[in-house]
Structure 1
């Protein structure tokens, strides 16, 4: 079912299948245990009844009948055997199956199918589905309900949801968990969710509107979604199992457009099942030149534009106009969708010292290459000038890289003062786009070394990684998105921190053709780019220090 309704997301599907398998096995074990308990209880009752009948017969032979006599001990024993078990005051009753599985928190950029995965879980379990949108919830009373003393009082969202689905064990989706309000004079909605999501407490959830009547939420299976973990409170996050939902790659978007989006929009625009025909090359151009997102919502809007244009042509043909042609070719894209919104990102073709290609994460599941340029300005005093709409962290990375180069100047063959009588200008193109973060440290350092030594860096190499003052290369984030962007741009080799090797195991097959190199120090980085000869001076310097 998951493969039929969702494209890609292999890790997410694996965890959902594990969840469904465990749920089924636990439910079957509970049902088997209840049947065994019922059979044992019936056998015990039958045995007690038989013993009681035998005792009563013996008593009747030994003494005259007395209609007002007190009940025999065997009668009391038989009645106690058929009495229902009392519920534990410290826990929920065991008369129904309660799923105490972890709460799945699907985290990923918009449009990757988090909500539809929750619907698929409900369909697989055969249970009703209810969605609660937590975006913009600022009042604790929306979770716990209003007291009836207020005008217009209403139950909380969970009680309203249970009343709507009319069952006690639905799948409830907590959508946009990261956008729930924080503590204010209306209370803290995030704190009110703690009791709701705790399996040890939610079997007796109290809604203010219902007073002291407890609501059993322990049979409800909760699934939550979020775009980011940064704004979720730690106690609330501790109750969830986080599952990352990465953005789709081009091949996955193409398959989604072919299997789901195009047939859907064809039918919604009145063209029937085969009213629009197009090739994979046309859909690929739509994906690359008219959308740039992690999900597929913008892609669906662009496909809807194509279908609406074809709907006009079809309607005109039915009124006696030109014959309708259902095929969309590449020449139709500019006429219907306009000029391409995005140019395909390509690597540099020229080889020049002082120019290096880095890797950048651009948010919402997108990544790409980042060109870094540098030049020397004569008549300077060794100052560093930075341009390109840079933040504080990336500026510190540039200063850190220059400090390392200066301290290792003699070992690199640059003398004791590499910037004597010159200034160095470092520029990041696309100045209107803000740039920040420490992941460009290795690329900046390599830019300085390339400029000052006159050794060019091949444009087919891209790199990312944070550096320290002692020359260590440390881990960064967004590796998957960066590598996918590098592959689209034509990069053939990427140099990454060794600590990020674990993040490269789930790359799609289309991106595994790139060569990946992992380094732990700046010395290893320089060796991988220019060979061992570059490091002879550095090794002699290190030995002298020892």
Structure 2
């Protein structure tokens, strides 16, 4: 009995039917009926309440009885009730009770001579008797005789046990007669007990015709008779009954395939996963299969075994020329994106080559050092005395143990695999421009598996980090599920729609959960709630993210990414994409085969300009699909005996198939009138165009009226421009009486379309000045930029889209802030026919529009004097 085990002052007496006999430090399983189990549990509950036990363990006195007269012996075994469970059939009246022996006890004489183990007789409570005195030195050695009767694999385990436990274990293992085992229970003296067991084993050998061992007896010291640790005693337990501490439990049939897979993949698992699996499988063997936690624990083990802990795809050496050619073949335009992707691949190849060279040198150095150390140790061992060798070995063992401590405390990833700590590429652009296909091309160039994770609409942190196993239907997070699906630990993983992931709410913060995932310094030990204390290595995964906008991405998350702008396609690029990719693809998908539909550039250009208006090419592909379906109908009719099939699509067929043109080409204003100015606007989804501003004087008191479905920002721009005009009336040549007697009405056409954004200040200011001075603005000039009260022109966004829209509308000159000059260098060659001019102040804008001699007319000099 362990020193920490304290039995209550009274024990419930539980009969053990023949042939069961329980000894200390062993276990036994007996079958009870439902009524007996109910009465036993009630008795144990009363025992706990009466004696105020501080532990949840329940204790009984297990006494062997006969089947006939059920006579009770005077010796029993104090036992702990470990488990009481029903069999697989819930309707069965049989229960299994598992008892663990603690110590021999002597029963008092006041007990009745007989006891029925059947209801309704009660199970009496008996007073606890003091344990037997500690054993004394003995001279009976059981091992020489036991070695003849037991399998060889049990010899070292049995030899590690104290002599008294050896005697009890041998009596149970060798199946001695029940009467002999009952008498052995009533023999507290170890010498006498060991002698009786040895005599019984000698008799068995004599009956089998075996020779007795002639080995000398080996007296043991009192220290060897002390109780060994529970894990050593449990290791020696045979089938049927086991030594103190349960042996390694036998797995049920449904768990054996799982255990076989665990043994097969043991070398591939991480140390944490191996430890968790061993713990869970041992626990599973003790849980009834009907228990709810049985299925949860089994599913957990299946998840651990299905993850690719050390399994990687070897990939291939990156060929930059091949990668560049693949990008050019599969993607039209996007030159900046292609250049950055090639740079990424080049850096990846160089870093991997450096790591491989360094790793090979480290491995060779370790092998050489180990060989030299082995030679030195062998030479020292041959020369040094035995005592010095033992001292050196103990010192080396202590040093090795001490050396483990810093490694355990070191919070850095192991250097056994290549980890690419490159920044996360974030492809930002409107829908349909090829962000996902760019990521696929990177995976193809690296020779790695590709997996896409859609983050759009993710509002629960548990979808990223997984659910805890306490919840019903718990599953790991998206990243662990992705690793299981691809089967390798180094795929290329696309995080799609990063800007649409949810923010902080009562379900947690998914954006914050992504921070650890995308941080190369942390994701080598990513913790999923479902896997518990088993970390997952995500540092070998190449993450690529996509988004349509940066506005809704959390700042800490955006800080971990390198933003790459994927702008919309111009008309020429869309035409090339339709000719090279979309039309052949839709021809095959609609059952017409290669060359089943043909269209010249004029037809495709009309489809691009008159029926689509987007940054990407998805709408364009849908329109081309309509053409192909119409041709599919004609082709089917021709096969049924109709007119011959003509694969050519003409311009005249477009209105018949696609209907009237959906969009009219934006055309600049043709007439010249004061108060009307052409502005530039970004219209969303990668589109830009011109925006007409109209102003008029109406009788009033010098106020400002705004119409055209304007947002707050653009209203503030109008008020700012009006304030600038009133503050600089003398310099601008505006009559104060004219402004005091009239109101200015500013209108933006297409009133049903919402208009907002900080980029119309310059155009609004020019419209006011043109209206009040009577000087018209050339309609071939378009403006973009914001102003301040002191007359500075500040930068705006969407320059590429605005310039493309201006070019489509026939604008010849574009005036924009000087701070946006860097954005205009990457415009397509088709826009080079426009003249782009830059301004830092309002005065520069006025000079570019009318010339200083016209608009200032000497007033700037007069203002300077004032």
Q: If the TM-score is normalised by the length of the shorter chain, which range does it land in?
A: over 0.9
Counterparts of 1:2 and 1:316, CA distance in 2: 40
Quote the residue 2:525 is aligned against: 204
Quote the residue 1:46 is aligned against: 371
Counterparts of 1:308 and 1:347, CA distance in 2: 36
Deviations 1:7-38 (A, max 9, x none): 11111111111111111111110100011112
Counterparts of 2:735 and 2:407, CA distance in 1: 86
Deviations 1:80-101 (A, max 9, x none): 9xx9996773111111111111
1:460 and 2:795 aligned: no
1:520 and 2:840 aligned: yes
Counterparts of 1:218 and 1:399, CA distance in 2: 53
* Structure 2 portions without partners, runs of 5+: 1-325
Quote the residue 2:571 is aligned against: 250
Alignment of 1:127-526 (within 5 A): 127-377=448-698, 379-526=699-846
Q: CA deviation at 1:54?
A: 4.8
Structure 1 residues 147 and 413: alpha-carbon distance in aligned structure 2, compared to 1, 3 A threshold: closer
Q: CA deviation at 1:402?
A: 2.2
In the alignment, is the contact (CA less than 8 A) between 1:203 and 1:216 conserved in 2?
yes
Q: 3-state SS of the aligned residue for 1:181?
A: coil
In the alignment, is the contact (CA less than 8 A) between 1:112 and 1:295 conserved in 2?
yes
Structure 1 residues 4 and 303: alpha-carbon distance in aligned structure 2, compared to 1, 3 A threshold: same
Counterparts of 1:502 and 1:44, CA distance in 2: 57
Deviations 1:232-273 (A, max 9, x none): 111111111111111111111111111111111010001111
Q: CA deviation at 1:541?
A: 3.9
Q: 3-state SS of the aligned residue for 2:738?
A: coil
Quote the residue 1:20 is aligned against: 345
Q: CA deviation at 1:55?
A: 4.8
In the alignment, is the contact (CA less than 8 A) between 1:131 and 1:172 conserved in 2?
yes
Counterparts of 2:373 and 2:740, CA distance in 1: 103
Counterparts of 2:862 and 2:580, CA distance in 1: 61
1:4 and 2:329 aligned: yes
In the alignment, is the contact (CA less than 8 A) between 2:598 and 2:649 conserved in 1?
yes
Larger radius of gyration: 2
Q: 3-state SS of the aligned residue for 2:814?
A: strand
In the alignment, is the contact (CA less than 8 A) between 1:254 and 1:283 conserved in 2?
yes
Counterparts of 1:448 and 1:72, CA distance in 2: 95
- Which residue of the other structure, out of 409, 418, 428, is the alignment partner of 1:97? 418
Q: CA deviation at 1:190?
A: 1.1
In the alignment, is the contact (CA less than 8 A) between 1:289 and 1:343 conserved in 2?
yes
Q: CA deviation at 1:162?
A: 0.3
In the alignment, is the contact (CA less than 8 A) between 1:99 and 1:221 conserved in 2?
yes
Q: Which has the bigger relative contact order, CA under 8 A and spacing at least 6?
A: 1
Q: TM-score, normalised by structure 1?
A: 0.93
Structure 1 residues 385 and 68: alpha-carbon distance in aligned structure 2, compared to 1, 3 A threshold: closer
Q: 3-state SS of the aligned residue for 1:206?
A: coil
Structure 1 residues 366 and 136: alpha-carbon distance in aligned structure 2, compared to 1, 3 A threshold: same
Quote the residue 2:140 is aligned against: none
Q: CA deviation at 1:382?
A: 2.1
Counterparts of 1:71 and 1:207, CA distance in 2: 46
In the alignment, is the contact (CA less than 8 A) between 1:523 and 1:535 conserved in 2?
no
Deviations 1:330-375 (A, max 9, x none): 0000000000000000111111121111111111111000111122
In the alignment, is the contact (CA less than 8 A) between 2:733 and 2:856 conserved in 1?
no
Q: 3-state SS of the aligned residue for 1:210?
A: coil
Counterparts of 1:50 and 1:541, CA distance in 2: 99
Q: 3-state SS of the aligned residue for 2:543?
A: strand
Q: TM-score, normalised by structure 2?
A: 0.60
1:31 and 2:351 aligned: no
Structure 1 residues 24 and 48: alpha-carbon distance in aligned structure 2, compared to 1, 3 A threshold: same
Counterparts of 1:175 and 1:278, CA distance in 2: 34
Q: 3-state SS of the aligned residue for 1:214?
A: coil
Quote the residue 1:122 is aligned against: 443
Counterparts of 1:441 and 1:538, CA distance in 2: 23
Counterparts of 1:90 and 1:515, CA distance in 2: 58
Counterparts of 2:353 and 2:408, CA distance in 1: 22
In the alignment, is the contact (CA less than 8 A) between 1:87 and 1:94 conserved in 2?
no
In the alignment, is the contact (CA less than 8 A) between 1:439 and 1:466 conserved in 2?
yes
Counterparts of 1:21 and 1:358, CA distance in 2: 43
In the alignment, is the contact (CA less than 8 A) between 1:144 and 1:206 conserved in 2?
yes
Q: 3-state SS of the aligned residue for 1:418?
A: helix
Counterparts of 1:390 and 1:224, CA distance in 2: 34
Larger mean Cα displacement after TM superposition, 334-343 or 346-355: 346-355
Q: 3-state SS of the aligned residue for 1:310?
A: helix
Counterparts of 1:439 and 1:204, CA distance in 2: 46
Q: CA deviation at 1:227?
A: 1.0
In the alignment, is the contact (CA less than 8 A) between 2:733 and 2:859 conserved in 1?
no
Counterparts of 1:55 and 1:145, CA distance in 2: 55
Q: CA deviation at 1:126?
A: 0.6
In the alignment, is the contact (CA less than 8 A) between 2:497 and 2:545 conserved in 1?
yes
Deviations 1:90-126 (A, max 9, x none): 1111111111111111111111111111111111111
Counterparts of 1:347 and 1:87, CA distance in 2: 71
Q: 3-state SS of the aligned residue for 1:495?
A: strand
- Which residue of the other structure, out of 850, 854, 858, is the alignment partner of 1:530? 850
Counterparts of 1:408 and 1:138, CA distance in 2: 52
In the alignment, is the contact (CA less than 8 A) between 2:603 and 2:650 conserved in 1?
yes
Structure 1 residues 69 and 391: alpha-carbon distance in aligned structure 2, compared to 1, 3 A threshold: closer
Counterparts of 1:428 and 1:11, CA distance in 2: 35
Q: CA deviation at 1:315?
A: 0.8
Q: CA deviation at 1:408?
A: 2.3
Q: 3-state SS of the aligned residue for 1:184?
A: coil
In the alignment, is the contact (CA less than 8 A) between 1:406 and 1:418 conserved in 2?
no
In the alignment, is the contact (CA less than 8 A) between 1:114 and 1:225 conserved in 2?
yes
